[in-house]
Structure 1
């Protein structure tokens, strides 16, 4: 136990010195990513499909602000009351690493687990002071995490920051089809709820509600190879500009290799950009200025999962990799061509 506490102390000190290394941002802008990472870690560690709801609440103001994340009806052996104290031994390794990062980055952190018979509570203060207790309890199964990011390092969420957190939670629902996510804060008059039954595909119908589609449904592709996975959906439209909402390992991106691969597949599908509704450009890499011209506008959503993604710079929003580009091109090209031909057939 002493060795674990020493590791926690060192972990906490390093996170406070270099928060951007762990969360990708510093100050209050790190809090939404910290919260999202915590949720992702719980879902990955639980080892089973979970439909929610996940209820995220922000209480208090200023340096008293705290965030609560409740996983209603989550009954996972990993987080059972009998095993909750073992979390300390795994919090610095995957898949629980981001949950552990939030714990040691917090002035106050509490994780409560109930299974209908027992209730276990794990508390961590200042990143390394640990207390645990287990008591009989008839409370329904659930997992609840309450944490207060160290105010001296992370400050607190402003009104705008609350919506930054809300955007992360919306992405969470998009990338986990059928997952319900609820969000509320004391300083917001209303509550926000997200639910996309078919994930990214549902998003496209939400986004194009005011535009004229050229076809019913979506064109879709999906593939897995060599630790790479891709899923994509497109809807071609009569007017507007092409837009692709893309994610790598659950995080939003602004282009790069995966979008270049999709662009290459679309060029194979539409070799002459003059034969369509109107000639429109799609920028596939904002860093290099790479673009293609297409004969139809469209909306698309795509997510890629990679073992070790590489990016153009520290902002980690433009993806690198010739192998990723070719993988996405191959995944999309033939599938999209067949679906488009079926749609155009008399």
Structure 2
């Protein structure tokens, strides 16, 4: 180690301003510059309108992959940020961690400003109080102040943006990958309506469009996942919801056994996937074992969805793929044991069939 004094000082510190702070290291804000990061850019824009629907302030969200490579996200909400206040929500990066609870879906790291900064062009339109307000940006920089662009017959917000090809490895979204996530969100939030449209050229084929709305919630999710399962042990899907103060939230469970392998257990916390499982999955398996009188439960032949919505979810690890939280395991276990035991007691033939399936090879 050198004995010479360090020459590092405040002069060596470079403060990056908007939008360079985001454009310099895009992976820090959307996870990567691959297609996965491109899709996260869409979710950043979706966060606000999706939560507006769940709060009853909007009824739908429409996402379109446009023929010219741009992406349009539109909602029929109240037109927040209308008029001269439009620029703030498009350029102001929130500081710190936002407070979330069971009533919200957390889709974003930063929100719409990150899409603005990482797009070569973006047009924001807000319809409010009978006026259409429009503002255009290039790489996060506004070209002019928001300006009125004519009358509006309804309220809402539309963002049209072109992901910057200089920053992303690809600017081609996967329709199927986006649709999978949109379906999940609609399955887990039955009040949500999401529409995905693909207008990109496909050899003369008509534009592809899918509407995602599932009033049956997790029950519809299991029916979708088990569509190809062989020989269901019981034809109906077992489904229940429960609120428990130990959870500081709710749990929704749907499940069905089949003679085949099943689709396994899909788990979610506040509508986010938890691929590593966690306390909610452990509690679910504990409850199944207790209801069936077995020493432990397995996922043999099982297709199940376990979704918890918590006021203050505790995740273990930086990837947020493993749920922790004191009380979650016991709360989910008791809910599953009670509801499943009551259901099987009312249908003993169903209970016998399930036990035989789990006891078999």
Please state which band the TM-score falls in when normalised by the shorter chain.
0.7 to 0.9
Would you say 1:265 and 2:287 are equivalent positions?
yes
Structure 1 segment 18-97 matched on structure 2, within 5 A: 18-44=25-51, 48-49=55-56, 52-60=59-67, 65-71=69-75, 74-76=76-78, 78-81=80-83, 83-88=85-90, 92=94, 94=98, 97=110
Determine the C-alpha separation between the residues in 2 that align with 1:125 and 1:31. 18
Q: Structure 2 vs 1, CA of residues 298 and 47 (structure 1 numbering), >3 Å: closer, same or farther?
A: closer
- What is residue 282 of structure 1 aligned with on the other side? none
Distance 2:53 2:194 in 1: 17
Larger displacement relative to structure 2 (223-232 or 331-340) = 223-232
- Give the deviation of 1:124 after TM superposition: 3.1
**1:234 and 2:254 correspond:** yes
Contact 1:68–1:147 (8 Å) recurs in 2: yes
Cα distance per residue 1:95-146 (max 9 Å; x no partner): 8942233223322222212247210123332124363112441443332111
**TM norm structure 1:** 0.76
Q: Which structure: greater helix fraction?
A: 1
More strand by percentage: 1
In structure 2, C-alpha distance between the alignment counterparts of 1:236 and 1:227, rounded to whole Å:
24
TM normalised by structure 2 equals: 0.73
Q: Which residue of 1 aligns with 2:139?
A: 126
Match of 1:298 in 2: 302
Alignment map for 1:1-346 (pairs within 5 Å):
10-44=17-51, 48-49=55-56, 52-60=59-67, 65-71=69-75, 74-76=76-78, 78-81=80-83, 83-88=85-90, 92=94, 94=98, 97-115=110-128, 117-129=130-142, 131-158=145-172, 161-185=174-198, 186-188=200-202, 189=205, 190-211=208-229, 212-214=232-234, 216-225=236-245, 228-242=248-262, 243-254=264-275, 255-272=277-294, 292-294=296-298, 297-306=301-310, 307-312=312-317, 314-344=318-348
Q: Cα distance 1:225–1:151, how it changes in 2: closer, same or farther (>3 A)?
A: farther
The alpha-carbon distance between structure 1 residues 76 and 84, as it changes in their structure 2 partners (threshold 3 A), is same
Q: Where in structure 2 are there 5+ consecutive unaligned residues?
A: 1-14, 100-107, 351-361
Distance 1:176 1:308 in 2: 17
Query: Alignment length, in residue pairs?
Result: 314
CA RMSD in angstroms comes to: 3.3
Q: Could you tell me which runs of 5 or more consecutive residues in structure 1 were left unpaired when the two chains were aligned.
A: 1-7, 274-291
Look at both structures and tell me which one has the larger radius of gyration over its CA atoms.
Answer: 2
